[in-house]
Amino acid sequence: METDNGRQKVLVIDDEANMCHMLSAVLKRAGYSVDTATDGQAGLHQIGREHYDFVLCDIKMPVMSGMDFLRAAGARVGQSTVIMMSAYGSIDAAIEAMKLGAYDYISKPFKPDEVLLTLRKAEERESLKQENRLLKARIQEIEKDFRFGNMVARSSAMAPVFQLAQKAARYSTTVLILGESGTGKELIARGIHHEGERSRMPLVPINCGGIPENLLESELFGYKKGAFTGADRNKKGLFKEADGGTIFLDEIGELPLPLQVKLLRVLQESEIRPVGDSKATRVNVRIIAATAKNLEEEVKKGLFREDLFYRLNVLTISLPPLRERLEDIPHLCRHFLARFNAKMDKEVTDLSPSAMGRLLGYGWPGNVRELENVIERAVLLTDEPVLMPEHLPAEIGAQVKGGNQGEVFDGFSLKIAQREIERRLITRALQKTGSNRTQAARLLEISHPSLLSKIKEYGIPL
């Protein structure tokens, strides 16, 4: 920690006034800010009020010795570098001081230069420790995978999605998942169910757009025997099957208006009424709905009930399309390669740079589901350990803009491909903001220091 004027702070604890005076003068000339204390008890009081970068502490003092000071201070000096001093030095005393948290030990009498040299060595050690901490944090950030349920990602765009889904899993709140087809809405729904307290109960999915309108009501709510021609027995609906668990209403935007009214009653009253029954039945079901449609626009068009929209829109999770998180593509490719290698008993280890370039240059209208299908097809077609452009569908290569994107990659490394994605996104953000690094960092959803580090790392001109 530094003071406002940028100087590091030192606390000198010594019962000899001359020693305190001498050390204060030497350290202040060397650029340090110095406080003094006459015994361990006063030193404890000082470190309780302020943080010090360094503590120079005598061992033999009245009231409270240096060793007792170390024992009493405990974690309070954890961020300070403590150097012990004594005219009665011994190896045993030095070892004991080290065990109690001291960094070094110097014997009196000493020359001023000895103290300064010890402090400089301590500064170098702390600097290296800080660099190591930052490096480890940086490596962990680079290698960090975001996971939720069966979904994996590495992009900053998906981290808040997974965090919100994790919070949603703790409660039985109604959730509305928005996103284009293939972005993983059902995977998020399954993750919310299996991470929550209802995980031991059923998860019942239904595609509201995949069942004819005249059958959908009986599928959802069930029916009584004789309710219509062919109803020769009572049938339990999907809501009843999901009792105690979760029902996932996929493509909720396709739900016909008459059924929207009945679904609203389920949300309001926690009751269902089977077709042909005069009595309502209570159910305990969590509802997770998903749609690729803009429900607010559907409400304006009169195609979706406003009151139902507000009932569903308690907690909304929006999944970004794959084209907005290109940095996930190499990571997803590794994930799918591992899965399909196991499924097909293959050993495809990587993608060629040109193949990866084509994947990165494609628009992915079918999102992650389309990428999964492409990798599955490619693994099926190849007998080689590396996927090549010819293993990819022709339309993917046709949509790459600006020539062969794969030529920018060296070797066969997905890590290199990921670095190239970062470099391109940073360059694009800087161009969009007129090289305003603060605004570019906001667009990229990273810290300003992290952006500066990446600009330097990738040699991006400003």
What residues form DSSP beta bridges with 326?
none
Q: Does domain 9-139 have CATH number 3.40.50.2300?
A: yes
Q: For every one of its 462 residues, what pLDDT tens digit does the chain have, with 9 covering 90 and above?
A: 444 456 889 999 999 999 999 999 999 998 899 999 988 899 998 888 888 889 999 988 888 888 889 888 877 776 788 888 887 766 777 778 888 888 888 888 888 888 898 888 888 887 777 777 666 555 445 445 566 777 878 777 888 899 999 999 998 899 999 999 999 999 999 999 999 889 999 999 999 988 888 888 898 998 888 878 787 888 888 999 999 999 999 999 999 999 999 999 899 999 998 888 888 889 999 999 999 999 999 999 999 999 999 999 999 999 999 988 888 888 899 889 999 999 999 999 888 888 888 888 888 999 999 999 999 999 999 988 999 888 998 888 654 444 444 444 445 555 666 777 777 888 888 887 888 888 888 777 788 878 888 887 777 776
Helix (H, G, I), strand (E, B) or coil at 77: helix
CA distance 218 to 188: 27
CATH class of 323-458: mainly alpha
CA distance 321 to 310: 24
101 burial via Cβ count (<10 Å: 0-12, 13-18, 19+):
middle
Q: Phi and psi (nearest 5°) for 287?
A: -110, 125
Segments of the chain assigned to CATH 3.40.50.300 = 148-320
Alpha-carbon separation of residue 89 from 84, 107, 427 (angstroms): 10, 6, 60
Q: Which numeric CATH code is attached to 148-320?
A: 3.40.50.300
What is the three-state SS of 69-93?
A: HHHHHHHHHCCCEEEEEECCCCHHH
Residue 178 is predicted with a pLDDT of 96
CA distance 428 to 426: 5
Residue 285 is predicted with a pLDDT of 94
Segments of the chain assigned to CATH 3.40.50.2300 = 9-139
What residues form DSSP beta bridges with 316?
176
Residue 299 is predicted with a pLDDT of 95
Q: Which residue's entry shows tokens 């590396």?
A: 386
Residue 328 is predicted with a pLDDT of 87
Q: Phi and psi (nearest 5°) for 396?
A: -70, -45
Task: Yes or no: say if 363 and 323 are a contact pair by the CB < 8 Å rule.
Answer: yes
Q: How many Cβ atoms sit within 10 Å of the Cβ of residue 381?
A: 13
Nearest 10 degrees: CA dihedral of 226, 230, 232, 233? -90
Segments of the chain assigned to CATH 1.10.8.60 = 323-458
